[in-house]
Amino acid sequence: MPRDLSVFGGTANLPLAEAIARALGVRLGARVVERFPDGEVEVRLEEGVRGHHVYLVQPTTPPVNDNLVELLLLADACRRAAAERVIAIVPYFGYARSDRRHGSRAAVGARVVADLMEAVGVAEVITLDLHTPQVEGFFRVPVDGLSALPLLADAARERLTSDAVVVAPDAGRVKMATAYAQWLRTPLVVLHKRRDSSTRTSVTHLVGDVRGKQCLVIDDLISTGGTIADSARALHDAGARPGVLVAATHALMLGDAAEKMRRAGVSCVLTTDTIACRAPDDGFVHTVSVAGMVAAAIRED
Amino acid sequence: MPRDLSVFGGTANLPLAEAIARALGVRLGARVVERFPDGEVEVRLEEGVRGHHVYLVQPTTPPVNDNLVELLLLADACRRAAAERVIAIVPYFGYARSDRRHGSRAAVGARVVADLMEAVGVAEVITLDLHTPQVEGFFRVPVDGLSALPLLADAARERLTSDAVVVAPDAGRVKMATAYAQWLRTPLVVLHKRRDSSTRTSVTHLVGDVRGKQCLVIDDLISTGGTIADSARALHDAGARPGVLVAATHALMLGDAAEKMRRAGVSCVLTTDTIACRAPDDGFVHTVSVAGMVAAAIRED
Amino acid sequence: MPRDLSVFGGTANLPLAEAIARALGVRLGARVVERFPDGEVEVRLEEGVRGHHVYLVQPTTPPVNDNLVELLLLADACRRAAAERVIAIVPYFGYARSDRRHGSRAAVGARVVADLMEAVGVAEVITLDLHTPQVEGFFRVPVDGLSALPLLADAARERLTSDAVVVAPDAGRVKMATAYAQWLRTPLVVLHKRRDSSTRTSVTHLVGDVRGKQCLVIDDLISTGGTIADSARALHDAGARPGVLVAATHALMLGDAAEKMRRAGVSCVLTTDTIACRAPDDGFVHTVSVAGMVAAAIRED
Amino acid sequence: MPRDLSVFGGTANLPLAEAIARALGVRLGARVVERFPDGEVEVRLEEGVRGHHVYLVQPTTPPVNDNLVELLLLADACRRAAAERVIAIVPYFGYARSDRRHGSRAAVGARVVADLMEAVGVAEVITLDLHTPQVEGFFRVPVDGLSALPLLADAARERLTSDAVVVAPDAGRVKMATAYAQWLRTPLVVLHKRRDSSTRTSVTHLVGDVRGKQCLVIDDLISTGGTIADSARALHDAGARPGVLVAATHALMLGDAAEKMRRAGVSCVLTTDTIACRAPDDGFVHTVSVAGMVAAAIRED
Amino acid sequence: MPRDLSVFGGTANLPLAEAIARALGVRLGARVVERFPDGEVEVRLEEGVRGHHVYLVQPTTPPVNDNLVELLLLADACRRAAAERVIAIVPYFGYARSDRRHGSRAAVGARVVADLMEAVGVAEVITLDLHTPQVEGFFRVPVDGLSALPLLADAARERLTSDAVVVAPDAGRVKMATAYAQWLRTPLVVLHKRRDSSTRTSVTHLVGDVRGKQCLVIDDLISTGGTIADSARALHDAGARPGVLVAATHALMLGDAAEKMRRAGVSCVLTTDTIACRAPDDGFVHTVSVAGMVAAAIRED
Amino acid sequence: MPRDLSVFGGTANLPLAEAIARALGVRLGARVVERFPDGEVEVRLEEGVRGHHVYLVQPTTPPVNDNLVELLLLADACRRAAAERVIAIVPYFGYARSDRRHGSRAAVGARVVADLMEAVGVAEVITLDLHTPQVEGFFRVPVDGLSALPLLADAARERLTSDAVVVAPDAGRVKMATAYAQWLRTPLVVLHKRRDSSTRTSVTHLVGDVRGKQCLVIDDLISTGGTIADSARALHDAGARPGVLVAATHALMLGDAAEKMRRAGVSCVLTTDTIACRAPDDGFVHTVSVAGMVAAAIRED
């Protein structure tokens, strides 16, 4: 743990910033973040950081662009106040799914975000369960890519019966699903979508056997809950035991995501506090904290 | 005018983008800008730009961070599609007032914006009436800083009587006011605010003579209309002729700005279309277009 | 197609360089590549490139470090000879599998390669079927990521019966396999390896049904042939029809790779000429050329 | 205050460098600066700086280019000797008035200077009363912009009567003048020049009332004394009390500047030692030292 | 030769700039270079350069720092005026002898100069007979290193008898001397200095045989003429034929250099116009122009 | 000596890495360097380096490209593991002879190597007897250029008689030879090659007198031994005493270099351990270690 260490939180997830500071045994740094009537953000540190290692906790959750620019301004303020090293803790990394050009004349959003962070002097990034781990390579600076998998798999284990299977909701999640399956010693099932050339609609195909089995669908992110709901329906259609479990590191839970998943037969969602919670735990969503894991990464490594 | 030229508009001010393309005699480039449920933006050019000089028209008006990030993604898409040169036309430049640190541990927002644009490969910037012209120096790349002053001063001249004075609403606008006064051959009046140490409130001081005179208050930007309204009241208190004129390049007109100025005795506001108009011209606000001036800068220089 | 275009080939795959030049209707540029007794490489262009777009064809096949450094020196020579733009055509991209840190204190080899290319002024990269498409984002400069999938899938179609399935040899290839399956309208089968905690050996698991089916195992790269051979054996053990087909863009074919696959029951390998062929086509390996596809990318886009 | 700190002075203002070192309680570092017959400068540190924070004191006073290059060479020597951080203390910042392009095809001198300093590895700049504070934003690195205003205003207060006014000698100085007026609780007067279109000469206009008042003209810099002399004459013509006071942070005092101001009715000039004094204090010029303020900035922040 | 080409001269050697422009068949670009009373330089192009290849002719002769900064400002003005490519023609490259650290805590002046040029956007450099050719490698950008050797050797040949020898005046010039000797088919003689440990003075040692021979001493630069005069004396002491010839690309001729060499027995100095001539040709100094050679490098390569 | 210091060795010269670590009193860091069947290298540090100054010992001896890339990957691993400073100890610097373009369209190999090292974050370089000291200027970062001359000259002194001469084997080595001659107080002799225009072969010319003298030929590097063997023959032909001594910092000793030199009359070669020894000391080659000198540079400076 660096001698001169400061932790500041942006406005995106203050409870997590406080939990991390607490786990480190330090006080959260005082700062002002103002938003003008025209939407411009102004930031100001209220304590000196000269020569410090400054950790800025700011997941780039919605409103993603506002939170991103706020983080960039905080980093600039730190640099101009002569901090020795600015480390961005971005537990949820917005634009991570824009990890390649979708079409030949698109942008690579995640690389743009990496470039912006480096442009204002971010010297290191700590994040969790990037949509694709390769995003680490979009940065010149060190990226500490933590994983909530052990936390979530342990939480899942208590709820699983011996005949459970781990389900990848699409081709891109098969690697993560094999890791869960390895950890929990269960078989693997793969869902993948394919455009039906006659009807032009997308049909979910199932590879593997789920008849009578308890299903744990895993994902990195729950956004509107649509993919999970589709998966749950496809699993039930294929004979899976009612009551699908879900484990996902990041829970944006946009709109009526919870209701949508519940209606599709999901019985429980396991997730973390990388994104500031929008609702109290209610038995349906169960949240484990990553603060200790982040603090350990700062302290030990 | 470069041989292979493309003009694309972001979503911030499409009418201006179209007007500029029209003035250049070209078709506005096709592109897709999508906003996902979680607020992330995805952009895609629908025509090739390899080897082109691409002009991206996007004032960074509110929502400023969304429009800024959209511009950055468009620039990245152009660069990755092998455009030869990406020129950002940012008629209104958000964060321009953050041109120095206000307090010793703040950010320099305008420099951050410059760094971000250069980080994604913007090779030149065209803008109008920056809050301070020094912002040009925040860029390594060429900045073409146009001024709407001739357009607005000409529009003002028709409405002015021979005893008019030009009024700087604060110390920072004196330079711009002297340019208007020189152009219109009128005397100058300076307003400036000072904190009253006993009451801790800010009092407007007036330097110069306005008794019985027609006043033209100039500014670069009307945001909430508060500064202009204060100025109008101070001028009337000091005996100015009723019916203050206002000339300002950029009109954000946030909230009830128009109503606020009208109540304070402003009779007419002259402005331009750098910011997409929010209301029809109604006699109170009179708008002149900068499209021709921008097109000329692209074409001739 | 740029007006002033030159194509040079390094020593890694001259036949492909010549085929690309031929497809473009230009002569391959003259250059000298010397290797000193101590292994240092010296390069020298024998024709001027001032103001040219120079395309350097050099897959970074084994000896990978020699071929990489040769490419970097060629790019430096072009830049110092005042080429306007240096484009690296790297049909096979060495170190692409080092696309993230495997362990927390490793290097990201593919990002290092990207940094090296940009350090010597490479302004654009053309490549085929990167191990992970995200490697594109390791570059600031445009990356044109072509795919041999249409060529190989068409070549496979002629050899497939109606009951064929496409097989992903591991979790990382599921996305590519779904693309083949979509293109060929076949079901998908997934193999994935898992460490058996008791025996500490790695066991191949099969998800999906292959009994009596013809299998097409796809991959981006055949290195020693081990993964493919393991897959073929696992498929046959699970009842697949004898005679597994293989389609892979890049065929390093190290050591006795061909023999190894043949022994495991592979009947035919479809591949391309991204890597200079080490043996004549013999019925077992069937090669289709990517030269036309690369030339089209240069010419049209 | 960093543990390993060195202070070196260039040749531009050794007395100030010594005063700063003294105020910090350290010895000024030994170095050699040689000037060859052809004007080339050679610098050499005579003590090790590995791992040190090195402060280089060098205002870029005339001969400005020689002093600037000397500073750049010193910074390079520090960097190549493995200093951890090189901080340039540039109390007077030459080329600061070149803060924007004057004409569309000019250079931005102050940005060029910023680029040059960053090119040789200057990691932080400490300066005083920049001509425009926005020059801070020309740097990526932190700029500590101190102000001599409190020192000079206090020195002025003793000499002012209760009816004093603060005078801005041109439109660009109104902001600084309002700060003085706020500090000294006096009214404000603004001078500004305008070209007379008939005679093509520049005429000084006065805004505000000076009849019978004592005037304090403020400025950032006295170069040839021409602007100040013009101001004094204009004030006297408008009925100001004889004996104008002047306060300016930087006193280049080129040519017969002192005589010129004296003849125009200036009675006293208050300034600082940012520029090595060219003459002894003689009652006309009164100098206060900024060494303590600079040392405090190094020590405390 | 690029289509849109402009040539501007700084103030260091206008006759050469004009000669180069003339040789290219173009008009020298109009520009203003002003020097303020405080020594600051202001530059302004008086014609547009958007999209042009701009050649700036400015040897960095004494006053070297003024000429260097002038060149940097001109380059910045070109870049900000959107020139496509700025090429610095620096026929004599000041600080070239500072090509390594002399002592462990010195600067590498020539690398600093290279960094400064690149910092302001110089994209290519054309120069002649660098003190060490390795200085080319100090630049990322292309350096076209021309040599006046063929011009000077041809001029020397007319004046040489069949028994001439080429003399390297010190160890660092042996490579250049061998090139002259190869070109002129003469033997080589080497002078080198060594500190005499007893007297602490430097003694010139002569390697080779000069008895009765005509000597041609070659060098890249004549500064104060001291080295050449010492060489001539050492050669005469060793029995060389009276009347030493000298060939040197750059002739600074500081102070009484001509007289000093004449007194030491030099009969004729052959040089070029890389440095603006300070005196008319008088039989002692003979000047050949490099304008044609520079123009050819621009035109042909 | 930095507080947190780690020393790692690449695979190029582990004995030297161990000797340096021993001389510093530290343990050599544990790391894994794997080479895959396709020649790709994978590196992994097995101990943490966060906040450390990491010294990587890796001369870029043959196979030069493999060793270079291994060094670059090690540096990347250190940077991504958040080392504070990565220092490359490259005792023998491959590609150093490629210090300028040989021909106008070649690469500058040594600058490419410098760019590559800086691209992966090398912050300082320690090396010995660079082929030309100017290569130091190819780096932005500090280069500590040590010299084995004192070690080798002392070793030579014991073997020299009073009539010895120091011989430069070609024009480029005259500076190094004068340093040896100064240190050993001997005369100097210069060999240089010249193409004979009639026979087109290269002939060695000798400047100076060697009749009956003992000769010490010095060089920075012995590669194939050809240059040294040619020199020895030329010296004997000119009447030198039989039994030429050789001193060279780096001994690649490629192929039958030893035999070749022996046959040409070389009696003894003095060298260092910058390059891992390929053969035991046998009386012919005598090796002195530079480990102490490198350790001192780390410890003291």
CATH of the domain at C184: 3.40.50.2020
List B residues 266-285 in contact with D (Cβ-Cβ < 8 A).
none
pLDDT band at residue B197 using 50, 70 and 90 as cut-offs: low
Does residue E241 sit in the same domain as residue E129? Answer: no
The mean per-residue pLDDT over the stretch F60-88 comes to 97
Q: Are residues B143 and B204 in the same domain?
A: no
- Cβ distance F62 to C76 less than 8 Å, yes or no, reads no
Contact C190 A207 (CB under 8 A): yes
Least confident of A133-142, C187-196, F49-58: C187-196
Contacts of B135 in chain D (CB under 8 A): 134, 137
Does the structure show a pLDDT above 90 at B257?
A: yes
User: Does A279 map to a domain?
Assistant: no
Whether C37 shows a pLDDT value over 80: the answer reads: yes
Work out the number of other CB atoms within 10 angstroms of the CB of residue F195: 11
Q: What is the pLDDT of residue A241?
A: 96
Chain E contacts of F142, Cβ < 8 Å?
none
Among F60, F13, F56, F11, residue whose Cα is nearest residue F221: F60
Nearest to B65 among A65, A77, A119 (CB): A65
**Per-residue pLDDT at B196 exceeds 70:** no
Any D CB within 8 A of E224 CB: yes
| D74-130 tens-digit pLDDT | 999 999 999 999 999 999 999 999 999 987 899 999 999 999 999 999 999 999 999
What confidence category does residue C279 fall into, taking pLDDT thresholds of 50, 70 and 90?
A: low
Q: What does the block give as tokens for E299?
A: 């035109």
| A224/B77 Cβ within 8 A | no
Residue F279 lies in a domain: no
Residues comprising chain E, all counted: 301
Q: Which residues of chain F make contact with D82, given a CB cutoff of 8 A? A: 124, 142, 301
**Cα angle value E269/E275/E280 (rounded, 5°):** 55
> Contact B42/A109, CB-based, under 8 Å?
yes
Cβ atoms of residues F83 and F52 within 8 Å: yes
Asked if residue F235 lies in contact with residue F204, where contact means CB atoms within 8 angstroms, the answer is: no
Q: Is the same domain home to F239 and F200?
A: yes
d(CA E29, CA E25): 12
Q: What is the pLDDT along chain E (301 residues), one digit of tens a residue?
A: 677 999 999 999 999 999 999 999 999 999 999 999 999 999 999 999 999 999 999 999 999 999 999 999 999 999 999 999 999 999 999 999 999 998 789 999 999 999 999 999 999 999 999 999 999 999 999 999 999 999 999 999 999 999 999 999 998 999 999 999 999 999 999 998 877 666 666 778 899 999 999 999 999 999 999 999 999 999 999 999 999 999 999 999 999 999 999 999 999 999 999 999 766 667 899 999 999 999 999 997 4
Average pLDDT over residues F184-209: 83
Do D142 and A82 lie within an 8 Å CB cutoff?
yes
Residues B80, C142: C-beta atoms closer than 8 Å: yes
**Stretch D218-230: mean pLDDT, rounded?**
96
| Cβ partners under 8 Å of residue B200, min gap 6 | none
**Mutate which of D178, D196, D202 to disrupt the B interface (most B C-beta within 10 Å)?**
D178
Residues C271-290: b if buried by 16+ CB within 10 A, e if exposed: bbbbbebeeeeeeebbbbbb
With respect to residue A284, please indicate whether it lies within any of the assigned structural domains: no
Identify whether D13 is part of a domain.
yes
For chain F, the average pLDDT equals 94
Q: What is the pLDDT at residue C229?
A: 96
D and E: number of Cβ contacts within 8 A: 153
Chain D partners (3+ C-beta pairs within 8 A): A, B, E, F
Nearest CA of chain F to the CA of A124: how many Å? Answer: 8
User: E79 and B142 in contact by Cβ < 8 A?
Assistant: yes
**What are the angstrom distances between the C-alpha of C261 and each of C148, C188, C287?**
22, 21, 16
Task: List pLDDT tens digits, range D257-276.
Answer: 999 999 999 999 999 999 99
Is F134 close to E136, i.e. CB distance below 8 A?
no
Q: How far is E90 from chain D (nearest CA, A)?
A: 16
Mind telling me how many Å the CA of C224 is from chain F's nearest CA?
Answer: 8
Q: Which residues on chain F are in Cβ contact (under 8 Å) with C221?
A: none
Contacts of residue F128, defined as CB under 8 A and 6 or more positions apart, other chains included, come to: F91, F92, F145, F146, F147, F148, F249, F250, F272, F274, F290, F293, F294
Residues 6+ apart with CB under 8 A from E82: B124, B142, B301, E49, E50, E51
Say if C and F touch: at least 3 Cβ pairs within 8 Å: yes
Q: Rounded to whole angstroms, how far apart are CA atoms E163 and D92?
A: 62
- Determine the Cα–Cα distance for residues A111 and A123; give it in Å rounded to an integer: 16
Identify all chain D residues contacting E109, using CB atoms and an 8 Å cutoff: 40-42, 73, 76
Q: Does B51 reach chain C within 8 Å, measured CB to CB?
A: yes
pLDDT for the residue numbered C203: 76
Q: What DSSP letter does each residue of E219-248 carry, written as one string? A: EEEESSSHHHHHHHHHHHHTTPPSSEEEEE
CA distance B74 to chain A (A): 7
Chain F residues in contact with C77 by the CB 8 A cut-off are 105-107
**301 residues of chain A, pLDDT tens digit each:** 777 999 999 999 999 999 999 999 999 999 999 999 999 999 999 999 999 999 999 999 999 999 999 999 999 999 999 999 999 999 999 999 999 998 789 999 999 999 999 999 999 999 999 999 999 999 999 999 999 999 999 999 999 999 999 999 998 999 999 999 999 999 999 998 877 666 666 778 899 999 999 999 999 999 999 999 999 999 999 999 999 999 999 999 999 999 999 999 999 999 999 999 766 567 899 999 999 999 999 997 4
Outline where DSSP puts E strands in A49-92: 53-57, 85-90
How do A41-45 and A31-35 pair as beta strands?
antiparallel
At residue C278 the predicted structure's pLDDT band, cuts being 50, 70 and 90, is low
**DSSP helix/strand/coil, F137:** helix
A255 touches chain B (CB under 8 A): yes
Confidence category of residue B203, pLDDT binned at 50, 70, 90: confident
Handedness of CA A150, A155, A158, A159 (dihedral sign): negative
Chains F and B touch (3+ CB pairs under 8 A): no
Q: How confident is the model at residue F280 (pLDDT cuts 50, 70, 90)?
A: low
Cis peptide before D59 (omega within 30 of 0): no
Preceding amide of B63 cis, omega within 30: yes
In a domain, A282, yes or no: no
Contacts of B51 in chain C (CB under 8 A): 2
CA distance C134 to B266: 57
B109–A42: do the CB atoms touch at under 8 Å?
yes
Tell me the per-residue pLDDT of A210-264, one tens digit each, with 9 for 90 and over.
999 999 999 999 999 999 999 999 999 999 999 999 999 999 999 999 999 999 9
Distance separating alpha carbons of residues C94 and C110, to the nearest angstrom:
8
Instruction: Round to whole Å and give the CA distance between D186 and D178.
Output: 9
Structure tokens at C11: 């020593």
Q: Structural domain of residue D269, as residue ranges? A: 149-273
Q: Are residues F190 and F93 in the same domain?
A: no
Helix axes E109-119, D109-119, angle to 10 degrees: 130
3-state secondary structure of B156: helix
pLDDT at position C205: 87
**pLDDT value at residue D205:** 87
Structure tokens at C296: 């089209």
F137 shares a domain with F171? no
State whether A117 and A127 are in the same domain. yes
Q: Specify whether F77 is located in the same domain as F159.
A: no
Residue of A nearest to F120 (CA): A140
Q: Which of B287, B284, B267 is nearest to B275 (CA)?
A: B287
Q: Taking residues F282-292, what's their average pLDDT?
A: 92
* Bridge partner list, C43: C33
Q: Enumerate the residues of chain E whose CB falls inside 8 A of the CB of residue B124.
A: 82
**DSSP-derived 3-state class of residue B195:** strand
Alpha-carbon Rg for chain D in angstroms: 20
What is the pTM (predicted TM-score) of this model? Answer: 0.96
Inter-chain touch F124–D50, beta carbons under 8 Å: no
Q: Residues of D with CB below 8 A from E36's CB?
A: 223
Instruction: Find, in chain C, the residue whose alpha carbon is nearest to that of F79.
Output: C107
Number of domains in chain F: 2
* D2·A48 Cβ contact <8 A: no
Task: Select from C95, C185, C190, C301 the residue whose CB has the most chain A CBs within 10 Å, as the one to mutate to test that interface.
Answer: C190
pLDDT at C301 over 60: no
State how far residue E3 is from chain B, nearest Cα, in angstroms.
14
Give residue B3's pLDDT: 76
pLDDT at A2: 75
Q: Locate tokens 């801070």: which residue?
A: D136
Tell me if C193 is assigned to some domain: yes
- Say yes or no: D110 and D189 in one domain: no
Rounded Cα distance between A232 and B186, Å, is: 75
Helices (H), ranges, E123-237: 149-157, 174-184, 226-237
Q: How far is D131 from chain A (nearest CA, A)?
A: 20
Domain co-membership, C143 together with C153:
no
* Nearest Cα residue in chain E from B84: E84
User: Is E225 in contact with E261 (CB distance < 8 Å)?
Assistant: yes
φ, ψ (nearest 5 deg) of residue D110: -65, -35
Nearest CA in chain F to A139: F80
Mutation site, A207, A211, A300, interface C, largest C CB count within 10 A: A207
- Are residue F199 and residue F182 in the same domain, yes or no? yes
Residues of B with a catalytic annotation lie at: 193
Q: What is the pLDDT of residue A183?
A: 94
Phi-psi region of C264 (alpha: psi -120 to 50; beta: other; left: phi over 0): alpha
- Spatial CA neighbour of A75 closest among A122, A14, A17, A20: A122
**Residue F267 to residues F223, F231, F287, Cα–Cα distance (Å):** 17, 13, 15
B74 — contact with chain A (CB < 8 Å)? yes
- Give the DSSP H or E segment for B55: strand B53-57
Write down the pLDDT at residue D216. Answer: 98
- Check residue E102 and give its pLDDT: 83
- In this predicted structure, the answer to whether residue D200 has a pLDDT above a threshold of 80 is no
Residues A123, A168 within the same domain: no
Q: Which residues of E4-16 are buried (b: 16+ CB within 10 A; e: fewer)?
A: ebbbbbbbbbeeb
Q: What is the pLDDT of residue F196?
A: 67
Contact D265, D236 (CB under 8 A): yes
**Tokens coding E82:** 């959107």
Cis peptide before C59 (omega within 30 of 0): no
Whether residue F86 lies within 8 A of chain C, CB to CB, comes out as no
Of the residues E175, E193, E213, E260, which is catalytic?
A: E193
**N-to-C CA span, chain B:** 8
- Note the pLDDT tens digit of each residue in B51-110: 999 999 999 999 999 999 999 999 999 999 999 999 999 999 999 999 999 878 999 999
C233, part of any domain: yes
Interface touch B2/E51, C-beta < 8 Å: yes
Asked whether the beta carbons of residue D82 and residue F142 sit closer than 8 angstroms, the reply is: yes
CA B265 – CA B243 distance, rounded (Å): 6
When pLDDT is cut at 50, 70 and 90, the band that residue F83 belongs to is very high
- A165 and A176 inside one domain: yes
Question: Strand C202-207 and strand C188-195: pairing?
Answer: antiparallel
Structure tokens at D83: 């200093």
Any domain includes E285? no
Q: Which of residues 115-134 of C touch B (CB under 8 A)?
A: 124
The answer to whether the CB of C10 falls within 8 A of the CB of C1 is no
Interface test with F, best of D80, D84, D86, D122 (most F CBs within 10 A): D80
CB pair distance less than 8 Å for F82 and A143: no
**B46 token code pair:** 């629908």
Verify whether the Cβ–Cβ distance F2 to D80 is below 8 Å: no
Cα–Cα distances in Å, from F24 out to A288, F127, F148, F150, F296?
Answer: 47, 17, 19, 21, 8
Q: What percent of chain B has pLDDT over 70?
A: 96
pLDDT value of position B30? 97
Catalogue the active-site residues of D: 193
Is the confidence at residue D281, as pLDDT, over 70?
no
Query: Is the pLDDT assigned to residue D196 strictly greater than 70?
Result: no
- Within 10 angstroms of residue C63's Cβ, the number of other Cβ atoms is 18
Residue C142 touches partner B, C-beta closer than 8 Å: yes
pLDDT of residue A136: 96
